[in-house]
């Protein structure tokens, strides 16, 4: 646990008692603060009370009297589409509002570091798609290299549940836009921006607010190195704002599909090969085509971002290449579930938006595509250029019929349920094809989250008879 510094002897309100909220309450208490906790769920409040935490009472006439700060969990709106009423009250009264990420960055460094031979480092990863895989891949590479490393944030543990830093430790954080937007302190040593595509727009008041939330990771703390995906305009703009000129190697530009060979530092993938360039010359190359845990161009971009993030730590290209080959991939992200009768079954349940589904559809040559769920604004009309590899679509969930109207002449079948879609796709798939779950939609019509959706697909596929 990371004891929170700076609130000794003060009351601090904690709103939201999920994983990050409870960890924040424990860490505040460990640092000498008095946490007061609240959640709209009576069950969550009961668990917190059983753990010994005093309640925050929002219905009091002056609920923030004597309270030094309000710590808000990521899922609770603080700005758009409108602030949670408790947050709104704190804003009106001038109570500082923060989250567990801000508490982590204000508390991570301690006087003990003066005795370390090597200062601990923080690598923070954000972006629309690929940030979980990139984060896990960075963690894996550092483990293979024998570095002391921990992983947390939007993946794995809450940040305040990490162990205090030791000599030369590295922490790898996946940070969502919800987390970067509110944190009052953001000071990573290396910051990674994978890409940007429209998502969570209601929460951020549009695409500009969404990008601004991501940009804070770079603008607030001034990382020593910034790894920036430059395949979209926003990434190119961000790299331009950070760099002092084309040769400024504090910025490492990353791409999947375009050659970056200018005077600066770049890592890019083309035709399945990763290349690192510095000062106008190539210094390393890795063949990504046969790495089972990283299929497709989108995963090649993730590999480039992870490679670029660990190179400033002194890791050699050959060691990184070795680690890439032993990376198993993450569940629900282009995860190979089974090979049966010459057909591959791939679980990409995390492909919840059009951009991530487009990348999945480009990763395999001939696809039986399972899609649908709770569709997002705009539907899937923008996937039209990527449907050439789809032999047939099997549409499920709330938006199945809407999706059917948007995929033109692509053969399709309304299946409604995952079980029926898997059964029909398995019956019709031919050797060499891939049955791909890439929903391009949220899961909340039939499942509590994308993980449960992916687990259902996996279980159904594993239950298919051999032969």
Residue 250: the pLDDT is 96
Mean pLDDT of 300-308: 97
Structure tokens given for 219: 């603008």
Residue 156: the pLDDT is 79
Q: Does domain 335-462 have CATH number 3.40.47.10?
A: no
DSSP bridge pairs for 122: 171
- Tokens 């290209």 belong to residue: 317
d(CA 391, CA 197) in angstroms, rounded, equals 26
DSSP bridge pairs for 192: 125, 227
Question: 3-class SS at 348?
Answer: coil
Residue 435: name the closest of 362, 355, 370 by CA.
370
Domain extents in the chain: 11-98, 104-325, 335-462
pLDDT, tens digit, 9 for 90 and up, residues 25-78: 999 999 999 999 999 999 999 999 999 999 999 999 999 999 999 999 998 999
Residue 206: the pLDDT is 92
Res. 313 pLDDT band, cuts 50 70 90: very high
**CATH fold of the domain at 104-325:** 3.40.1190
Mean pLDDT, the chain, as a whole number? 94
Res. 155 pLDDT band, cuts 50 70 90: confident
Residue 221: the pLDDT is 80
Greatest CA separation for the chain: 69
Taking each helix axis from N to C end, the angle separating 19-30 and 100-107, rounded to the nearest 10 degrees, works out to 30
Residue 129: the pLDDT is 86
Residue 328: the pLDDT is 83
Residue 120: name the closest of 173, 175, 83, 48 by CA.
173
Residue 460: the pLDDT is 98
Measured in residues, the chain has a length of: 467
Mean pLDDT of 130-148: 96
d(CA 160, CA 322) in angstroms, rounded, equals 31
> Which CATH number among 3.90.1150.110, 3.20.20.70, 3.40.50.720, 3.30.950.10 corresponds to the domain 11-98?
3.40.50.720
DSSP bridge pairs for 270: 273
Residue 222: the pLDDT is 87
d(CA 237, CA 233) in angstroms, rounded, equals 6
pLDDT, tens digit, 9 for 90 and up, residues 382-398: 999 999 999 999 999 99
d(CA 183, CA 189) in angstroms, rounded, equals 16
Mean pLDDT of 132-158: 94
Binding site, annotated residues for ATP: 127-133
Binding site, annotated residues: 127-133
């Amino acid at each position: 646990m990371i004891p929170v510094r700076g609130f000794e002897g003060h009351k601090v309100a904690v709103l939201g008692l999920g994983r990050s909220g409870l960890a924040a309450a424990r860490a505040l208490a460990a640092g000498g603060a008095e946490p007061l906790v609240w959640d709209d769920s009576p069950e969550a409040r009961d668990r917190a009370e059983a753990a010994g935490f005093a309640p925050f009472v929002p219905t009091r006439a002056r609920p923030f009297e004597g309270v030094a700060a309000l710590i808000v969990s990521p899922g609770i709106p603080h700005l758009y589409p409108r602030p949670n009423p408790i947050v709104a009250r704190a804003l009106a009264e001038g109570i500082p509002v923060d989250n567990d990420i801000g508490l982590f960055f204000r508390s991570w460094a301690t006087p003990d570091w003066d005795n370390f031979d090597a200062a601990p480092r923080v690598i923070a990863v954000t972006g629309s798609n690929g940030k979980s895989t990139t984060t896990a891949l960075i963690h894996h590479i550092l483990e293979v290299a024998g570095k002391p490393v921990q992983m947390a944030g939007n993946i794995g543990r809450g940040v305040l549940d990490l162990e205090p830093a030791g000599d030369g430790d590295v922490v790898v954080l996946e940070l969502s836009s919800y987390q970067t937007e509110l944190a009052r302190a953001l000071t990573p040593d290396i910051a990674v921006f994978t890409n940007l595509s429209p998502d969570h727009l209601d929460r951020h008041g549009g695409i500009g607010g969404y990008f601004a939330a991501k940009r804070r990771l770079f603008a607030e703390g001034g990382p020593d190195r910034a790894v920036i995906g430059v395949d979209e305009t926003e990434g190119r703009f961000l790299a331009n704002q950070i760099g002092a000129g084309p040769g400024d190697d504090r910025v490492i530009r990353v791409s999947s599909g375009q050659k970056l060979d200018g005077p600066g530092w770049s890592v890019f993938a083309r035709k399945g090969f990763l290349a690192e360039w510095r000062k106008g010359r190539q210094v390393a190359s890795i063949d990504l085509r046969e790495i089972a845990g990283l299929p497709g161009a989108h995963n090649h971009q993730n590999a480039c971002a992870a490679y670029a993030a660990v190179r400033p730590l002194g890791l050699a290209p050959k060691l990184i290449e070795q680690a890439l080959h032993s990376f198993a991939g993450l569940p629900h992200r282009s995860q190979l579930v089974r090979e049966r009768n010459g057909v591959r079954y791939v679980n990409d349940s995390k492909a919840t938006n059009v951009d991530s589904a487009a990348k999945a559809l480009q990763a395999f040559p001939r696809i039986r595509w399972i899609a649908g769920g709770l569709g997002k604004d705009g539907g899937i009309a923008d996937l039209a250029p990527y449907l050439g590899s789809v032999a047939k679509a099997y549409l499920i969930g709330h938006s199945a019929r809407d999706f059917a109207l948007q995929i033109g002449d692509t053969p399709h079948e309304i299946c409604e349920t995952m079980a029926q879609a898997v059964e029909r796709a398995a019956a019709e798939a031919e050797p060499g094809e891939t049955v791909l779950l890439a929903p391009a939609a949220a899961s909340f019509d039939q499942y509590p989250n994308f993980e449960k959706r992916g687990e259902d697909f996996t279980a159904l596929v594993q239950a298919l008879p051999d032969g």
